[in-house]
Amino acid sequence: MTNTNRERGFSLMELLIVVAIILIIAAIAIPKLFRSKIAANEASAVGSLKAVNAACITYSSTWNVGYPLALNYLGPGTPTSSTGAGMIDSLLAGGAKSGYTFTYVSGAPSGGKVTTYTLSANPAVPNQTGQRYFFTDQSGLIRQNLGGVATSSSAPIK
Could you tell me the residue range of the domain that residue 30 belongs to? Answer: 12-156
Whole-angstrom CA distances from 21 to 18, 25, 62 are: 5, 6, 61
Cα angle 120, 126, 132 (rounded to 5 degrees) comes to 50
Query: Domain for residue 85, yes or no?
Result: yes
Cα angle 125, 116, 51 (rounded to 5 degrees) comes to 55
For 88-113, the pLDDT digits (tens) are 999 999 999 999 999 999 999 999 99
Which pLDDT value is given to residue 134?
Answer: 98
Query: Domain for residue 59, yes or no?
Result: yes
Confidence band of 150 (pLDDT split at 50, 70, 90):
very high
Query: Domain for residue 1, yes or no?
Result: no
Predicted TM-score (pTM) of the model is 0.85
Query: Domain for residue 23, yes or no?
Result: yes
Query: Domain for residue 4, yes or no?
Result: no
Query: Domain for residue 109, yes or no?
Result: yes
Count how many domains the chain has: 1
Query: Domain for residue 7, yes or no?
Result: no
The pLDDT of residue 2 is above 60: no
Query: Domain for residue 69, yes or no?
Result: yes
